Amino acid sequence: MLYRLVENTQLTATVWRMKLEGDTSAIKAPGQFVQLTVPGFYLRRPISICDWDDTTITLVYKVVGQGTETMSAMKTGMELDVLNGLGNGFDTSRCGDKPLLIGGGVGLPPMIGLCRQLLAEGKHPTVLAGFNTESEVFLRDAVEAMGAPFVLATMDGSAGVKGLVTDAMADLDFTDVCACGPLPMLKAIMNATDKPAQLSFEERMGCGFGACMGCTVKVKGSYKRICKDGPVLDREEVIW
Amino acid sequence: MKDLSVTLSGVKLDNPIIPASGTYGFGQEFLPYYDINILGSLSFKGTTAESRFGNPTPRIAECPGGMLNSVGLQNPGVDHVIAHELPELRKVFHKPIVANISGFSIEEYVNCVSKLTKEEQVEILEVNISCPNVHGGGMAFGTSPEAAASVTRAVKEVATKPVYIKLSPNVTDIVSIAKACEDAGADGLSLINTLLGMRIDLNRRKPILANVMGGYSGPGIFPVAVRMVYQVTGAVKIPVIGMGGISTARDVIEMMMAGAKAVQVGAANLVNPYACKEIIEQLSIEMEKLHIDRLSDIQRV
């Protein structure tokens, strides 16, 4: 399906925000992703959905290679071929009253749509974000605009709590966890709390809709395709 | 009205478009995108005797004009396929099915063929002796004429449906292997499987794929596939299903002009879930431009 690029703004040295206009009816849950065709590249690029409304999708992405580099140079007005609403996303009905939403670096974007959804359901989410240093921080304003608490941890202590997200967790009161970020961060969170958790995983993908088996991982008792059966897995099924 | 129908060993297909094994699962993932009954047939995910997880991830790498995969025959095993996947596929798909079969020994190929040949709606048995992503099997049977012939003879003993042997391009002389399969009783051939390739991550200074090497597919391999189909169909009498990088209706026509009786579409399904639908819709239009009334008339130029 075709979408019109209406915004492509740089947020930090490596992170950009892209807004696409088009049909968003395929999006069923926060934490789903899109597969974006980037001119000049054969495979689509899987990017998590940061937030959406009836006509717009917001993607916040990090430039990590040639594909995302090309994305960052795209001009507004151009049309993009996008497969929308892929993956399972977070199940907000399984969240408690005070969910802690943890995003590590570029794992933060899906927490925005999730936070908005939880607030709409009358729950009381807190967003906890981990970065290396203050200049890397993004999306703080998006969380605060929704009226949700935003807790920050930076490795060098230049903003918020000094250290890892797990160092900031100790002082927070929460019922359960939704998290997205690097694997070592997810592991550390699991060591820091026994509470229920939905975790979003990343894997190199082929198709993004379950056909190629390119992103399969072993979980307890079976296999799962990160693109189709994930990217969100329950902590109880993950093999660490 | 253009005639798109083709016949493979007595099996009539409404059109020559068959999604290639490993790029289409058991059809279910494409149901949100279109009615899969527009397809000529469907070659399902390569099935082995026992269930297989396959290789560790990353299993996918990009390259110009295509992709590498090192999935490694992930599948739930033949008994599960017969008990679960095939019944689910039959609910939504009412055209002939191509059963794709892999193995690590002649006994395993025979075991799978003897089970799948009994399955309703399975009209063609496609025996893959060319998977580049598994050790001690797969491609090992596809790289020597003698080994290819012995697999062919063994599965023909138990098969009650036409047997098509899927050949590897990773050989010095594909024609000698094709002829060995024909002499051993193969009803047809499928070619080509993926080309063995490799990519290196410059930052990590390590191979991108966890399994180091993988199979290259996509439009970049199309000329290689056309050449091999042309060579093989010039040397054997049995029908050939042509595949390798087909992405457009014009590619289909070119592959059939090279000698293929039908075609499979692989990697294109993964980057565009509508690929087969768009190709089928475009075929009549391209035939009109090229003054072709019956697709089956153009085989082999």
| Model pLDDT for residues A131-144, shown as the tens digit of each residue | 999 999 999 999 99
| Model pLDDT for residues B286-296, shown as the tens digit of each residue | 999 999 999 98
Residue in A with minimal Cα distance to B269: A207
Contact B59 A215 (CB under 8 A): yes
> Which of chain B's residues have a Cβ under 8 Å away from the Cβ of A228?
29
CATH classification code of A2-86: 2.40.30.10
> Which of chain A's residues have a Cβ under 8 Å away from the Cβ of B71?
212-214, 216
| Model pLDDT for residues B223-255, shown as the tens digit of each residue | 999 999 999 999 999 999 999 999 999 999 999
> Which of chain B's residues have a Cβ under 8 Å away from the Cβ of A82?
none
CA dihedral B218, B223, B227, B232 (to 10 degrees): 20
Place of tokens 């039908």: B262
What ipTM was assigned to the predicted interfaces of this complex?
0.93
Q: Where are the domains of chain A?
A: 2-86, 92-199, 201-240
Cα-based angle B290, B291, B295 (whole degrees, multiple of 5): 85
- Residue A115 has, within 13 A of its CA and on its CB side, a CA count of 28
Residue in B with minimal Cα distance to A229: B29
Q: What is the pLDDT of residue B279?
A: 98
What average pLDDT does this structure show over B32-42? 98
Residues with Cβ < 8 Å from B46, sequence gap 6 or more?
Answer: B21, B22, B73, B75, B100, B101, B102, B128, B131
Structure tokens at A209: 């809709």
pLDDT bracket for residue B269 (50, 70, 90): very high
CATH class of A92-199: alpha beta
The minimal CB distance from A206 to the residues B45, B208, B270 is found for B270
A212 — contact with chain B (CB < 8 Å)? yes
pLDDT bracket for residue A188 (50, 70, 90): very high
Residue whose C-alpha is closest to residue B269's, from B99, B77, B43, B11: B43
Q: What is the pLDDT of residue A135?
A: 97
Q: What is the pLDDT of residue B136?
A: 57
Interface contacts (A, B; CB < 8 Å): 85
Residue in A with minimal Cα distance to B62: A43
* Residue B292 to chain A, least CA–CA distance (Å): 31
Contact A213 B74 (CB under 8 A): yes
Residues with Cβ < 8 Å from A50, sequence gap 6 or more?
Answer: A17, A58, A59, A60, A109, A110, A112, A113, A139
Q: What is the pLDDT of residue B37?
A: 98
Q: Global pTM?
A: 0.94
Q: What is the pLDDT of residue A41?
A: 97
For helices B106-116 and B145-158, give the axis angle rounded to 10 degrees.
Answer: 30
Amino acid, single-letter form, for residue B177 = I
Residue in A with minimal Cα distance to B58: A204
What average pLDDT does this structure show over A170-175? 94
Place of tokens 């008990």: B83
Judge residue A236's burial from the number of C-beta atoms within 10 Å of its C-beta, 0-12 exposed, 13-18 middle, 19 or more buried: exposed
* Residue B23 to chain A, least CA–CA distance (Å): 5
Helix (H, G, I), strand (E, B) or coil at A163: coil
Q: Scan residues 22-51 of A and list those with Cβ closer than 8 Å to B.
A: 37, 41-44
> Which of chain A's residues have a Cβ under 8 Å away from the Cβ of B29?
207, 209-211, 228
pLDDT at B274 over 80: yes
Q: What is the pLDDT of residue B300?
A: 78
> Which of chain A's residues have a Cβ under 8 Å away from the Cβ of B265?
none
| Model pLDDT for residues B75-111, shown as the tens digit of each residue | 999 999 999 999 999 999 999 999 999 999 999 999 9
Q: What is the pLDDT of residue B131?
A: 76
Quick one: what percent of chain A has pLDDT higher than 90?
A: 99
* Residue A227 to chain B, least CA–CA distance (Å): 12
Quick one: what percent of chain A has pLDDT higher than 70?
A: 100
CA dihedral B269, B273, B275, B277 (to 10 degrees): 130
The matching CATH number, chosen from 1.10.3720.10, 1.10.620.20, 2.10.240.10, 2.60.260.20, for A201-240 is 2.10.240.10
pLDDT at A219 over 70: yes
Residues in chain B, overall count: 301
Q: What is the pLDDT of residue B299?
A: 79
User: From CA B117, how far away is CA A127, in angstroms rounded?
Assistant: 56
What average pLDDT does this structure show over B106-133? 94
B185 — contact with chain A (CB < 8 Å)? no
How far from each other are the two terminal CA atoms of chain B, in whole angstroms?
A: 23
Q: What is the pLDDT of residue B139?
A: 67
Place of tokens 């981990």: A130
Q: Which residues of B are catalytic?
A: 131
The minimal CB distance from B57 to the residues A210, A211, A215 is found for A215
Residue in B with minimal Cα distance to A42: B66
Using a CB cutoff of 8 Å and minimum separation of 24, what contacts does A7-11 make? A7/A76, A8/A71, A8/A72, A8/A74, A8/A75, A8/A76, A10/A72, A11/A60, A11/A138, A11/A139
Residue whose C-alpha is closest to residue A152's, from A199, A167, A142: A167
> Is domain B6-54+74-194+218-297 annotated with CATH 1.20.960.40?
no
Mean pLDDT, chain B, integer: 95
Residue whose C-alpha is closest to residue A217's, from A195, A185, A228: A228
What average pLDDT does this structure show over A84-94? 97
B61 — contact with chain A (CB < 8 Å)? yes
User: Which of A31-45, A107-121, B121-135 is predicted with the least confidence, judged by mean pLDDT?
Assistant: B121-135
Amino acid, single-letter form, for residue B223 = P
DSSP H helices in chain A: 66-72, 110-120, 140-146, 165-169, 183-192
The minimal CB distance from B60 to the residues A41, A83, A206 is found for A206
